[in-house]
A and B are shown apart, each in its own frame.
Chain A
């Protein structure tokens, strides 16, 4: 247990330093970005550099929930349930941050916080599905049953997200005029090494953040598990 928490400490320090570097690069290293027409994009575009890594990592987190849920149903080992619930919780946080950062950028770029765009709606659905997952966990007390039932929901929820994506795409293409313009675009291609490097460093920073939060959470859950088992053993 002690070596685990030391590892987490190292991870946390690494996360903090890469995060600082990432933020520094965002504000001081990144050159002004021009769109296809050659006009300089407003500073809010910088949100993209942490918006995208967060979004990808939230998908990754839910992939972990899905895989851990399947493994739980196969092995019935509480170890997998700990991974599933830790990833779900961190993933929900990331999914929420995707919505927040996206909305702030959208307010500046489009003038609205929210439109029913394909990606926005899919992100919202993802967030809602895992919010429901958390609700389910809270409503169950018995550990074995909670693990089993939430594993089932974790599998169903993960499968519903790509289907939501396709259904929303269908819906959107039926009403193209509601959105108008280039809503999904992120302002031209990402050319230039400075941009790509900044994106990469941000990506690493948020991946490390995910790993840190995840391992802290897993440790917490293990301790809780141990506490419970000792309490019931008496």
Chain B
């Protein structure tokens, strides 16, 4: 476990030297929000419509921006034979996967933390602290599932000819069981529901996270065994 942290720390250190990925992800997600906000401009005052549309917009922004980052996470290792060196590390392959998940989670959370205030401003929400905490819980569960599958598929598409194109094609159908409950739960929270009403969504997200983390952890070794 501690070794996963070393790998994550290495990735984060490399990322914070340039902040290339973080910046482009953040700007991309902001642009998605702005584009939707502009196209919904006519009825942003209509709370009922905004409540139906905004949660989906938020998750579209997160998913697409997150995908930008995911497609880079193993590509950056291909330079100077880093991937081979990483595989030579005296650690279990599963630890490499967990390390990559941790660094991706940190980066995507940072992106989400900066995007969320803009979302609240553009779509004119005023959230209490309890609602915000609940929203963070759903964001965590949804993002974890997204990253768990995305990191594996990022490694999987590394060896293909069209990796940047292939990643979204492979990832989106598998993400449906995360996106539906995440969007539903986000809509519920923004509409002022309490945690009691969100149990089915939270349960489904937790099951997805657990199942896909375990399975991906098991098969990761086959993905990188070149």
Binding site for B on A (CB under 8 A): 73, 125, 128-129, 131-132, 135-136, 139-141, 145, 148-149, 151-153, 155-157, 159-160, 163-164, 166-168, 170-171, 174
Contacts and interface: CB of A to CB of B under 8 A. Distances in A.
A159 B215 contact: yes
B160 A156 contact: no
Contact of B219 (A73, A125, A132, A136): A73
Interface string B205-226: 0011001100110010011011
B174 interface: yes
A159 B173 CA distance: 12
B216 A160 contact: no
Nearest to A127: B173
B160 A157 contact: no
Given A139-B166, A163-B211, A170 B222 contact: no
Contact of B211 (A129, A151, A159, A167): A159
Interface of B: 149, 152-153, 156-157, 159-162, 166, 169-170, 172-174, 176-178, 180-181, 184, 200-201, 204, 207-208, 211-212, 215-216, 219, 222-223, 225-226
* A interface SS class: helix
A170 B181 contact: yes
B148 to A, nearest CB: 10
B185 to A, nearest CB: 10
Contacts of A149: 156, 159-160, 223
A125 B226 contact: no
A129, A131, A145, A167, most chain B CB atoms within 10 A: A167
A128 B173 contact: yes
Contacts of B174: 129, 132, 156-157, 160
B225 A171 contact: no
Given A155-B215, A156-B216, A170 B166 contact: no
B103 to A, nearest CB: 21
